[in-house]
Amino acid sequence: MTIRLYDTDARQVRDFVPLTPGCVSIYLCGATVQAAPHIGHIRSGLNFDIMQRWFRYRGYEVTFIRNVTDIDDKIIRKSAEQHRPWWAIGYENERAFTDGYDALGCQPPTYEPRATGHVPEMIEMMQGLIERGHAYAADGNVYFDVRSFPGYLELSNQELDNLRQPEGEGETGKRDQRDFAMWKAARPGEPSWDTPWGRGRPGWHLECSAMAHKYLGRAFDIHGGGIDLIFPHHENEIAQARAFGDEFARYWVHNAWVTMSGEKMSKSLGNSVLVSDMVQRWRPIVLRYYLGTPHYRSMIEYSEEALREAEAAFARIEGFVQRVVEMAGVVEPAAEVPPAFAEAMDDDMGVPQALAVVHTTVRQGNSALNADDKETAVARLAEVRAMLGVLGLDPLDPHWAGADRGDDLHGVVDSLVRLVLDQRQGARARKDYATADAIRDRLVQAGLEIEDTPTGSRWTLRG
């Protein structure tokens, strides 16, 4: 029952040993709300949603913090470009992120703190770092002295002499260009807060160190985020927190990107695919399957073809579920997942290997149905539902009950296909078998599988 995780800091898979037996604390870097989310943003939330679900299945009490960065350079620039208040842009996009997480079935975090709500905690941390000689004020800014912290750059495995720290706007008065800003002096027209060093606003890195300290204490189990955050964000978080006296995170878990033509999906590169657009074109549960089932440390190369393959693969699972339900009614999930599934999930959240167990069980269940072995088919469905519940993909879960109907494309197609199937059924009732066969042939040519059951005709996409 030992869960193992790849720890970026250790550069190896390690046995997970919680700080508090039976409990797991997780901090995930969440949204910077300067724009609506694309599917690359949501992938991180999905990966850690599956991790939460697995820890809970294994009996852990989970505390999950996912922050919101509601003030930074990008939001301020958007405010100037759009002639709108910075807080209005942040709130609008925070809602869009929440809608995206909800649409794809992510469970809500325990707490979702905003950066602007934690300025007192940031001031306290800066004061402590200045007193300890790890930070200094200059021109109304507050900087972290990277040379004062010997462990700096161990996470990203860089050499300080070769470091090029990303420069922020208005960062004057640095002693060393590699020092990074924890607090930025106020500039005309920008939001600001009072501090002992003058009015200003938070630096990106400081907010997470301060919020993790407030909600999870001086030490916690897992810190997560995308691989692009390893440097500078997570490296700078570590420096601030540990120089302040915190042990901070004991495991560092990073998910890979969603790419397009080999490039990271990014608004700035113009290659992003918005979640709000995708859920209009694809069923949300299929989008979750597509984004959530590759291993979290593997890149996902976006393509329409890959999404169609995901849709066909999920249709095979869903078709089995529907067949058993039509025969035996709703079957409750099994109390335990199959051992091979558990073994895969325990090994660094091995979702691809766990999903292979799902598909094997589906094939066994379909074979039992074809052999009219109701008892075995029902048992296999119970196992499938238990596994799909961990992955957030159980089509019988109440979350999905109405999610794939209404205005989305699948709901429209479903209504149209059922209308055609009703016409086919009418032709069969009239003994007009030529017309019924012709309708079936046209549907098959369109890429659908048609199955006649005692309760009526069903359709699925051909795999």
What pLDDT score does 421 carry? 85
CA angle (219, 141, 247) in 5-degree steps: 10
Given a contact cutoff of 8 angstroms between Cβ atoms, the answer to whether 350 and 296 are in contact is: no
Q: Where are the domains of the chain?
A: 4-255, 283-404, 405-463
Sign, CA torsion 434/436/438/441: negative
pLDDT over threshold 60, residue 406: no
At 69, the amino acid letter reads T
Tens of pLDDT, residue by residue over 283-296, are 999 999 999 999 99
Pairing of strands 263-264, 258-260: antiparallel
Given a contact cutoff of 8 angstroms between Cβ atoms, the answer to whether 177 and 138 are in contact is: no
Q: How far apart are CA 97 and CA 276, in angstroms?
A: 9
Q: Binning pLDDT at 50, 70 and 90, where does residue 220 land?
A: very high
Q: How far apart are CA 203 and CA 132, in angstroms?
A: 20
160, two tokens:
């300080």
Helix (H) or strand (E) holding 413: helix 409-429
At 440, the amino acid letter reads R
Pairing of strands 300-301, 263-264: unpaired
What pLDDT score does 455 carry? 52
Q: How far apart are CA 260 and CA 4, in angstroms?
A: 30
Tens of pLDDT, residue by residue over 331-376, are 999 999 999 999 999 999 999 999 999 999 999 999 999 999 999 9
Q: Binning pLDDT at 50, 70 and 90, where does residue 282 land?
A: very high
Average pLDDT, stretch 391-418? 73
Q: How far apart are CA 89 and CA 82, in angstroms?
A: 9
Is 233 one of the annotated binding-site residues? yes
What pLDDT score does 436 carry? 87
Q: What SS3 class is residue 219?
A: strand
Q: pTM for the whole thing?
A: 0.87
Given a contact cutoff of 8 angstroms between Cβ atoms, the answer to whether 19 and 222 are in contact is: no
Q: Does the N-terminal peptide bond of residue 294 adopt cis geometry, omega within 30 degrees of 0?
A: no
Say which residue, 142 or 263, is predicted with more confidence.
142
- Any idea which of 25-39, 101-115, 270-284, 297-311 has the lowest mean pLDDT? 270-284
Given a contact cutoff of 8 angstroms between Cβ atoms, the answer to whether 242 and 214 are in contact is: no
Is 208 one of the annotated binding-site residues? yes
Tens of pLDDT, residue by residue over 385-396, are 999 999 999 999
Is 237 one of the annotated binding-site residues? yes
Tens of pLDDT, residue by residue over 143-154, are 999 999 999 999
Q: Please tell me the CATH superfamily of domain 4-255, with its number.
A: HUPs (3.40.50.620)
Say which residue, 445 or 100, is predicted with more confidence.
100
- Any idea which of 384-388, 418-422, 457-461 has the lowest mean pLDDT? 457-461
85, two tokens:
């208040």
Helix (H) or strand (E) holding 67: strand 61-69
Q: Binning pLDDT at 50, 70 and 90, where does residue 407 land?
A: very low
pLDDT over threshold 50, residue 45: yes
Mean of pLDDT over the chain: 93
Say which residue, 429 or 197, is predicted with more confidence.
197
pLDDT over threshold 90, residue 53: yes
283-404 maps to CATH 1.20.120.640: yes
CA atoms within 13 A on the CB side of 47: 32
Roughly how many angstroms between the first and final C-alpha of the chain, as a whole number?
A: 35
Using CA atoms, how far residue 167 sits from 135, 142, 162, 179, 447, in Å, is: 17, 14, 15, 10, 53
pLDDT over threshold 60, residue 160: yes
Q: Binning pLDDT at 50, 70 and 90, where does residue 463 land?
A: low
Average pLDDT, stretch 222-244? 97
Average pLDDT, stretch 270-285? 89
What pLDDT score does 263 carry? 84
**DSSP secondary structure of 132-155:** TTSEEEETTEEEE-GGG-TTTTTT
